[in-house]
Amino acid sequence: MTDPRTLPQGALSHLRVLDLSRVFAGPWAGQMLADLGAEVIKVERPGEGDDSRRLGPPFLRGDDGQPTRDSGFYLSANRNKRSITVDIAKPEGQQIVRELAARSDVLIENYKVGDLARYGLDAPTLRALHPRLVYCSITGFGQTGPYARRAGYDSIFQGMGGLMAITGHADSEPGGGPQKVGLIVSDLMAGMYASVAILAALEHRDAVSGQGQHIDLALLDAQVAALSHSAMGYLVSGDPVPRCGTQSPTAAPSQMYRCQDGAVMLVVGNKAQWQKFCDVMGRPDLPADPRFATNPDRIRHRAELNAILDPLFLAQPRLHWIDALAAVGVPCGPVNELHEVFADPQVRARDMLVHQPHPQRAAMPMLANPIRLSQTPVQYRHRPPALGEHTDEVLAELAGYDAARRRALRERGVI
């Protein structure tokens, strides 16, 4: 691994983040800040750690081909952090968190509403002690409302937040009905919103008020907000958003088509593209057909249009259509399996796969951060840490705990 001391300073290298969160949304926000240069200290339970460490299979395979104890889930959201173990149920553990919070700019937590108040680690208590602290609480339903104390996971919020209602094939089609998106979209969106909110609160603190603030961020809220244009379509019309599978409800042809050796996604977005598309497909007559003259016409007669297009696509391999349509500026791309994603020349050219050393693997593959900054590029300074790997160094550096004190705390199970 590159020596972090030789790297250029990250955009957020002046910040320290205390990350008390577990599983995904909070760790995802923390990793974003860490990738941008912030020092992020991950606080975990002694002996147990973040639940996501055990969320597998799959687990990372070492160079010997055997699974390690690191799940892909955990590894996806915890690079560039240092891990310490602290039992916050013990008074000495609570004091450690308070001391670290006093030396931090941001605290991220995703405990159930009210849990941290029992330990004196809630937002009002810590912000009274440290007014410049930006305290971000990420929960399923938020700090207020009738569901505030309920637990929940991504799939619950995909269902409650409307994403499943607009995803999947129509009820009238085979296999129709609401479908869950394969990714944990609610967690991803909440983590991204959290990182933006944290940066906004820091800017307000440093440029306007001199004071931190409490951020109340809910996965359900994030999922509802992420409905974006689909929700606005419903709000302005009162009409439910139809489930269309891979088809677009607002454009045609815009969907997946099967070819000889796989499938492609096609989007014909305007009149000029429609004409060029028909020329490439060998059907320059279609734009003159009144059923297909305009986009609304093509949507109304989508079944008849697909009866013409389906056999045309099937007559050639997908690369034939991708190259031919790209040549005239009509968007079309392959429907890739994951091994094809990471072999794609564009993905490779953009360096979306990076490698970091791991105790059981010389070069552990990881997804890159997509942010490209010209002066303060993202740095991959540290692999995701082992449980408690940095407890001694963090307590010595930031809290001034000597070896004897750390040994006593370890003997009492505090760290």
Handedness of CA 332, 335, 338, 340 (dihedral sign): negative
Tokens found for residue 153? 């996971």
**What's the token pair of residue 204?**
């307000």
DSSP class of residue 386 equals: P
Q: How far is CA 72 from the centre of its chain?
A: 14
Tell me if 105 sits within 8 A of 202, measured CB to CB: yes
Phi and psi at 14, nearest 5°, equal -85, 0
Catalytic residue ranges: 187
C-alpha 381/C-alpha 192 separation (Å) is 21
The conformation of residue 30, written as its DSSP 8-state character, comes to H
Which ranges in 330-386 belong to alpha helices (H)?
Answer: 338-341, 345-349
Cα four-point dihedral sign 168, 170, 176, 177 = positive
In terms of Cβ atoms closer than 10 Å to its own Cβ (0-12, 13-18, 19+), residue 66 is exposed
- The conformation of residue 57, written as its DSSP 8-state character, comes to S
CA distances from 10 to 7, 73, 106 (A): 8, 25, 17
Return the half-sphere exposure (C-beta side, CA atoms, 13 A cut-off) of residue 195. Answer: 21
Would you call 60 helix, strand, or coil by DSSP?
strand
Q: What is the DSSP string of 270-333?
A: SHHHHHHHHHHTT-TTGGGSTTSSSHHHHHHTHHHHHHHHHHHHHTS-HHHHHHHHHHTT--EE
3-state SS assignment for residue 82:
strand
* Number of CB atoms found within 10 A of residue 43's CB: 25
H-run or E-run covering 334: strand 332-334
Cβ-in-10-Å burial (0-12, 13-18, 19+) of 155 comes to: middle
Tokens 């997804």 belong to: 367
